[in-house]
Structure 1
Amino acid sequence: MREISRARFVGMLLAGVVLSAVPAYAQDTTSPAAEAPEGGLADIVVTAEKRPSIAQRAPIALSVITSEAIKRQGVGNVADLTTLTPSVGFSQNGPSTVITVRGVSSRDTNQLGDPAVSISLDGFYFQRSLGLNIALFDLERVEALRGPQGTLLGRNATGGALNIITAKPTDDFSAALTGEVGNYDLIATQGYVNIPVNDKVKLRASFMTRDRDGYRHNAPARDGDDDHSRAARLHLLFQPTDRWDVLLTGEYSHQDGVGQVIQPVAHRFLPNGQLDTSRVDIPGDGKRFSVSPGSFIRLNSYNVRWNTNYDLDFATLTYLGGYRSLKFANVRPLGADYNTNRRNLTFDQHERPRSWNHELRLSSKSDTPLIWQAGLYYFREKNSTVSLFRDFRVPGQFPTPTACLCEPGVELQIFRKPDLLLQSKAVFGQASYAITERFRIEGGARYSSDKKHNLNAVNLATNVNTYLNTGAINYVSNPPTATRLSSHRTTFHAAANYQWTPRNLLYAKYDTGYKSGGFTDLQVYGPENITAWEVGSKNRFFNNTLQLNLSAFLYRYKDQQVQQQITLPSGGIGTGTVNAGASKLYGGDIDIVYQVTPNDRIELFGAYLHARFTDFVAVVNGRNQQLAGNRLQQAPDWVFNAGYEHVFPVGDGSITTRLQTHYESKSYFTFTNYEADKQPGYMRSDIIVTYTAPDDRWRLEGYVRNLEDKLIFSNADVVSTTYVSYRYQYQAPRTYGARLTVNF
């Protein structure tokens, strides 16, 4: 019966996609570029296809988060975005960030691992998972694209993309300052100033600070999951002629504190000696648990980027690029059973990735039957790392971020990688042609060539179990190694779009995606590939007050890169990345926005996802098992969002109340689908009340988030013979606070 209901849902969704293209007889057929009638829905301009277009006319499944929604939700980093993008999942692997879209993700967070969801800031691509949860402030919008983006966005976008667009300099002077206070001793500030120096030079400077105590009480350690961050940005826009503009940007961000913490829960065993993988009771509800003191995180990011456009009459030539330097240091307990002699096992991680982005693109005008663009892309990242797996025999004697005047600890494993390289080159093109005024076909291709190497790597290790049982240290030093890997692939895009009326669009598309192969200290793994079919429809009805968007999709996912236990040549068990055989994903989503009156707005989103392995042999409990039928990681069958907003006029000002909730059905954090790593279905709700003064001179907002105070996993790791514990990380608990913004 469950399968029948799912089939009916997808069938009804497909029927809705087709039927929604039939225009209502009372449909207003004025141009969607015109201003919306009073009380209607405004059009949003996006650059999801690397050229300006109206979101409702872009033939792609995407969610657009406006600057108003970002401010209202108090978005401060990428993790906060997931509350506004229902098909986007967020999780942590230690300090590393994992983003999932429609069940597609990458948990290979080592130095040469690639994300499956592309994250870019003003077109600048972010590679390292350490830097993905970047500070977000003074934004124009965020575009969350669902499905493979292998042609235009390319770089490992097998799952989708998050395009983050900052606010740019404008022609008028403006400024704003925001202060925020909340529980967990939150104190945050944001601000910007926009200065039009003259008609050719414009300047915009912005900043943010955020200080918050940790969500977890971890005595004898300091409270973990804290936030202490600073960031600033300077945009300088030159417009020497009517044809030419140049945007220069400098950005700095800093983060420190305790960082992410892992709660260890002691392993339980069955009478036969096997690990008990049933549901675990979380002591202290994830809010109070002991951690050895001394852990810290410190991250500094420096980013310089540029974007220039020149009008050639027949087309526009664009060159964007930049350089980013990331300095990262982290010492953290690894989540071993706190009541054992493994409690002070730590990982000391130091990295210095430096990356370059370059893209040269030629784009035709958008008002001709043939619309095209073609470009060249180059990405290069160099990194040097030192990682230490250590044991501190004296509790509380971890090093500090600046010095270590303590016991140095016992180095059980030393990984030195002085020369890591990740390089990607690509050539791409995409074109669409209007067969009629309403019907357009398009196609595109991208050739990507990727290269990785790890030269002069040194690994010095002792037998951990022997050390823990006897205290004996017997280092085995492997000679310096050199590993090189190259991979390449051509990905394709084909689509047909039918603009039935100016406010009704029907589209169908086919895409392929590719994520380059790589290697860990244990083995080499190959590229992963995805093939996607999608149909969708975007519509406005009832005099532009009701927006109804639908999409349905089918993915064939081959050679997915999955972290799992592998059998070592010595016969032991280790953790590495391998290529799973195949997966099948299908489903659909429906997105509704209804401006019932000028003062009432309803938002609804629903998605169904069937994501299952169809062929995956993995090592489970020391032997190979076929896991076909298991769910992919972080792939709930059902996701729903609902929001209601009402504006109460108060004199010349107004009070806006917003209620919103998010529901997910159960999902798993490992492919074994154990009950111990399951995130049960949950509902998380928010309340936001805002007073806006006359002429928007100032705003005062109060909020409560995660009203239910639900314990929600951000990671779960069940099987670990080294740490003898189930290990969990969590999302934010209930938070509340107030924010005051003054506009100048």
Structure 2
Amino acid sequence: MNRSRNFLLAASTCALALMGSQAASAQSAEASADTGTGLGDIVVTAEKRPTLLQKTPLAISVIDAEAIKANGVGNLQDLAGVAPGFNFSNNGAQTILTVRGVSSRDTSEIGDPAVALSIDGIYFQRALGLNATMFDVERIEVLRGPQGTLLGRNSTGGSINIVSAKPVDHFEANVSGEIGNYDTFITQGMVNLPVTDTLQVRAAFQTRDHSGYRNNPVGRDGDDERSKAARLSVLFKPTDRLTIDLIGEYSHLGGVGPVRQGITPVTGADGEPDITVKPPIPGDGKSWSQTDGAYVKGDTYFLRWNADYDLDFATVTYLGGYRNLDYTRNALDEPVYGSNRQNMTFFQHEKPVTWNHEVRLTSQLDGPFRFQVGGFYFREKNSVDAQFRDYPGKNAVIGDYVLLARYYYPDTVTTSRAVFGQAAYKLTDQLEVEGGIRYTHDKKHRSGSYTSTDGDAYLETGAINYESGDQYGRSSDKVTTYHAGLNYQFTPQNMAYFKFDTGFKSGGFTDNSAYGPEKITSYEIGLKNRFFGGTLQVNVDAFWYDYKDQQVSQFIIRDDGFSSIDVYNAGKSRYKGVEADVTWLATPADHFDAYVAYVHAEYTDFAVADGDGNLQLAGNVPPQAPRWSANFGYSHDFDLGFGTLTARAQTHIESKSYFSFYNWDSEKQSGYTKSDLMLTYKPADKAWSVEAYVRNLEDKLILTGTGPASTQIAYQYAAPRTYGIRASFDF
């Protein structure tokens, strides 16, 4: 507590010094609110009610529709390149989301994320099969810091909310096409129809195709994309008081999917493989041989709805969703099992069916008091079939195979029930106090069976000796989280806030262990400012996290030669950091933006299993927690008379980080820069536009995942340099 107070006191001193400069610009800032000459206002729903971004007392970044299109954001990996404080990584085909260095490495069907992900307010347990749904998006909100009261479970690091475009009361339509290297071909389109005064309909679609970024003979090239999706949205207003949003969506994923390069470790001084040292990467991560036949396939049916009823003093909201995913993957996983065999695979089939329900009462009072109360229910029922296979004597992983191990869990269920409330009261016209509480009861259970043979014996002699048994696991957590805040609006354009929040991530179990929830306590102060007629926006914040009972996911090579994931509550860590987010409209034609973050994260007590004992890793850095990260961008509009040519350059800079708590050199991503260039032309009538782009100009080999095994190290990579051209037509 004393350290956190000292850190925040120092940050507060800097904040007050910045505030001292406000008086000179307050009048011009207030004047800009009516002139429209400055930066525009953005409406967000981060607090589950519409608020202006600059009036929302938390650290939040918004990627709007234009930025999404300009940056080609079609999946979470693309989002990581433009969203401040957000990182993305892979564990095979599974996605790991990180905000401010806080993440969860357990991507199993029981594991939970540390960053809550939702579409239109509908919570996702995992990001599996999500990439095909990021189209016709109004905005993406990235909330940094725990959101344990309003957003609840599994938001210890933050939250990402993808907001799809909703029907409007006038006709509009758009279609676009994009071509680029790696045989890229992307199409998107939408049409909005005002059927009646009370009924509007919007239909949208997307297809995304590119060949693999890796050259993997004799198999098809990996890290490809084959997806298509369609969405139908209906907005119905039968009365002045009732509004109903109904959205139906279908998406399909195909192709080879993510691939990993298995690399033989260097030989240590003792003559044994040393998996702690980073080996040279053959072919610069662009080419390695793989057997043909790997694939990924996913079909998603997604229905969601939102109904609002106006009671004058408050609005009653019912938010719901149903999602059915059928996901199959057959991946070449010889790097994981340490074999030089080219035809061993990991087969995965899951059919998660999820339900979301939330009911809220949100005040619309004109006085100093406002509130929200609500209840939340989530349920996911999944059927999991995981198999280790070998296709001996074949040149493709197709047809008959030898089953080495199977884990079949037809009954895997997660439920979460919660009640929550948050209220605020204005003590004066400028000073507001907030408080919130949430009670959550999470339950998980899984039942099924396993069948396996000794992998080492099979590789050496071909012997098959199956053993089998039943497996069952259950966990239950009851956790209360809290929020307290103090917000001060110095002027209409300048505010300061202080937040105290707690959050948690659910406990669970593996085949060999059980673990409890991990918990985080956060202290944060921030400033949100507009200066110089609203043309300069400067937002800064400082935070301190105390993190305990962290769930450590460990990759274990068992005695039979196969792997397992064990999870333990293994210790404590401390995070402290400062962020600055600046946007400057220097002239009507010149736009600068910058985000700089310093995060000092380290384990303070962290013991993990190591052979027959524990290994103390206090002082190590948590995964994907770079000390420094920054985004810089500049754009200029050239007025050609008959149209506008906009040139933009942007870069992401990041210091070194690691992909595991061991901080081995073999799992390190060195510091790097990744830059993009964009050139967009719009004619004066704005009926169409064309954009040329280059992304990852440096063609930097950037890791998205690492995984040491018994005799190999497996690496996954982000996209290499890509370039192309996109044309868009409005009707």
The answer for the alignment partner of 1:92 in structure 2 is 90
Q: Is the 8 A contact 1:331 1:347 kept in 2?
A: yes
Q: Which residue of 1 aligns with 2:79?
A: 81
Which residue number corresponds to residue 409 of structure 2? 417
Q: Deviation at 1:37?
A: 3.0
Q: C-alpha separation between the residues in 2 aligned to 1:361 and 1:625?
A: 47
Alignment of 1:320-339 (within 5 A): 320-336=319-335
Residues 560, 579 of structure 1: 8 Å contact kept: yes
Tell me the CA shift for residue 279 of structure 1. 2.2
Q: Deviations over 1:5-61 (max 9, x none)?
A: xx99998754332233342323236769945532x1001011100001110010000
2:286 is the counterpart of 1:287: yes
Alignment match, 2:176: 178
The match for 1:708 among 698, 701, 704 is 698
Contact (CA 8 Å) 1:653, 1:694: kept in 2 or not?
A: yes
1:251 to 245, 249, 252: 249
C-alpha separation in 2, matches of 1:339 and 1:433: 60
Residues 127 and 24 from structure 1, CA distance in 2 versus in 1: closer, same or farther, beyond 3 angstroms? Answer: same
- What SS does the aligned partner of 2:685 have? helix
**Any conservation in 1 of the 2:576–2:599 contact (CA below 8 Å)?**
yes
Do the aligned partners of 2:510 and 2:565 also contact (CA within 8 Å) in 1? no
Counterpart Cα distance in 2 of 1:619 and 1:514: 23
Distance 1:360 1:660, change over 3 A: same
Which stretches in structure 2 are left out of the alignment for 5+ residues? none
Per the TM alignment, residue 133 of structure 1 is displaced from its structure 2 partner at its CA by 3.5
Q: Which residue of 2 aligns with 1:539?
A: 529
1:742 equivalent in alignment to 2:724: no
For residue 522 of structure 1, report the CA deviation from its aligned partner: 2.0
Counterpart contact for 2:337–2:561, Cα < 8 Å: no
Matches within 5 A, 1:682-693: 682-693=672-683
1:481 to partner: Cα distance: 2.6
Identity %: 50
The Cα offsets for residues 680-701 of structure 1, whole Å up to 9 and x where unpaired, read as 0000000000001112110000
The one of 452, 456, 461 equivalent to 2:444 is 452
Matched pairs, number: 725
Select which of 437, 454, 460 maps to 2:429. Answer: 437
Residue 59 of structure 1 aligns to a residue whose secondary structure is coil
Question: 1:453/1:9 Cα in 2 relative to 1: closer, same or farther (>3 Å)?
Answer: closer
Letter in 2 for 1:84: V
Mark the CA change 1:291 to 1:569 in structure 2 (over 3 Å): closer, same or farther: closer
Q: Distance in 2 between matches of 1:119 and 1:655?
A: 36
1:108-127 matches, cutoff 5 A: 108-127=106-125
> Which residue does 2:186 correspond to in 1?
188
CA 1:560–1:569 in structure 2 vs 1: closer, same or farther (change >3 Å)?
A: farther
Where 1:19 maps in the other structure, the secondary structure is: helix
Q: How does 1:35-114 map to 2 (within 5 A)?
A: 35=34, 37-38=36-37, 40-114=38-112
Q: Which among 234, 255, 272 is matched to residue 232 of structure 2? A: 234
Q: 1:135 aligns with which of 129, 133, 136?
A: 133
Is 1:302 aligned to residue 292 of structure 2?
A: no
CA separation of 1:9/1:582 partners in 2, compared to 1, >3 Å: closer, same or farther? closer
Is the CA contact (8 Å cut-off) linking 1:606 and 1:638 kept in structure 2?
A: yes
Q: Tell me the CA shift for residue 129 of structure 1.
A: 3.6
| Aligned twin of 1:377 | 376
Partner residue of 1:483 out of 466, 473, 497: 473
1:126-181 deviation line (CA, Å, top 9, x unaligned): 11242344431111111100000000011311110001111101111000000000
Matched-pair contact (CA < 8 Å) for 1:565–1:619? no
- 2:667 maps to 677
Asked if the contact 2:265/2:278 (under 8 Å) is kept, the reply is no
Q: Deviations over 1:272-325 (max 9, x none)?
A: 245422222111011001112210000111101110000001100000101000
Change (3 A) 1:658 1:573: closer
- Residue number in structure 1 paired with 2:160: 162
- Whole-Å Cα distance in 1 between the matches of residues 137 and 682 of structure 2? 20
- The structure-2 alpha-carbon separation of the partners of 1:337 and 1:497, relative to structure 1 and needing over 3 Å to count, comes to closer
Root-mean-square deviation (CA, aligned residues, Å) is 2.1
Q: Contact conserved, 2:443 with 2:477, CA < 8 A, in 1?
A: yes
SS in structure 1 of the partner of residue 26 of structure 2: coil
1:316 and 2:287 aligned: no
Question: Are 1:336 and 1:342, in contact at CA under 8 Å, matched by a contact in 2?
Answer: no
Partner of 1:403: none
Distance 2:189 2:680 in 1: 19
Q: Which residue identity does 1:740 align to in structure 2?
A: A
Cα displacement string for residues 247-268 of structure 1 (whole angstroms, at most 9, x for unaligned residues): 1110011110000000000123
Task: State the partner residue of 2:455.
Answer: 464
> Contact 2:266 / 2:277 at 8 angstroms: preserved in 1?
no
Q: What is the alpha-carbon distance in structure 2 between the residues aligned to residue 535 and residue 439 of structure 1?
A: 15
Aligned to 2:601: 611
- The partner residue of 1:578 within 553, 568, 572 is 568
**Deviation at residue 79 of structure 1 after TM alignment:** 1.5
Kept in 2: contact 1:97–1:132 (CA 8 A): no
Equivalents in 1 of 2:32, 2:420: separation in Å?
29
| Alpha carbons of structure 1 residues 341 and 540: separation in structure 2 relative to 1, 3 Å | closer
1:215 and 1:133, CA in 2 relative to 1: closer, same or farther beyond 3 A?
A: same
Q: Deviations over 1:68-96 (max 9, x none)?
A: 11111111112211111120000011111
Matches of 1:137 and 1:80 in 2, distance apart? 13
SS, match of residue 26 in structure 1: helix
Within 2, Cα distance between the matches of 1:726 and 1:234? Answer: 44
Q: Does 1:550 align with 2:540?
A: yes
Contact 1:16/1:550 (8 A) holds in 2: no
SS at match of 1:696: coil
662 and 13 in structure 1: CA distance in 2 versus 1, 3 angstrom threshold:
farther
The 3-state SS of whatever aligns with 1:313 is coil
* 1:284 counterpart SS class: helix
Q: Distance in 1 between matches of 2:703 and 2:323?
A: 31
Runs of 5+ consecutive residues of structure 1 not aligned to the other structure: 1-6, 400-405
Q: Is the 8 A contact 1:32 1:503 kept in 2?
A: no
SS in 1 for 2:128: helix
Q: Is the 8 A contact 2:132 2:253 kept in 1?
A: no
Question: Counterpart of 1:4?
Answer: none
- Check conservation: 1:588, 1:609, Cα contact below 8 A: yes
TM-score if structure 1 supplies the norm length?
0.94
Q: 1:622 to 1:28 in 2, by over 3 A?
A: farther
3-state SS of paired residue (2:23): coil
Query: Structure 2 length as normaliser, TM-score?
Result: 0.96
Residue in 2 aligned with 1:16?
14
Hey, what does 1:278 align to over in structure 2?
277
Deviations 1:521-580 (A, max 9, x none): 221111110000000000000110000000000001111112114698999985311112
Q: Cα deviation per residue 1:423-450 (whole Å; 9 max; x = unaligned)?
A: 0000000000000000000000000000
Corresponding letter in the other structure for 2:362 = S
- Output the CA distance in 2 between the equivalents of 1:434 and 1:147: 24
Q: Which moved more, 1:622-631 or 1:427-436?
A: 622-631
Report the equivalent of 2:262.
264
State the SS of the aligned residue for 1:522: coil
Q: CA deviation at 1:715?
A: 0.0
Pair 1:323–1:626, CA change in 2 (3 A):
same
Distance 1:338 1:430 in 2: 49
Residue 645 (structure 1) aligned with residue 635 (structure 2): yes
Distance 1:557 1:440 in 2: 28
Please say if residues 195 and 203 of structure 1, whose CA atoms lie closer than 8 Å, have aligned partners that are also in contact. yes
Name the CA distance, whole Å, in 2 between partners of 1:337 and 1:568: 12
CA distance, structure 1, for counterparts of residue 557 and residue 177 of structure 2:
54
CA distance in 2, matches of 1:324, 1:338: 34
- Identify the residue that residue 500 of structure 1 maps to in structure 2: 490
Structure 2 CA distance, aligned partners of 1:391 and 1:183?
A: 35
Look up the equivalent residue of 2:315 and give its one-letter code.
Answer: T
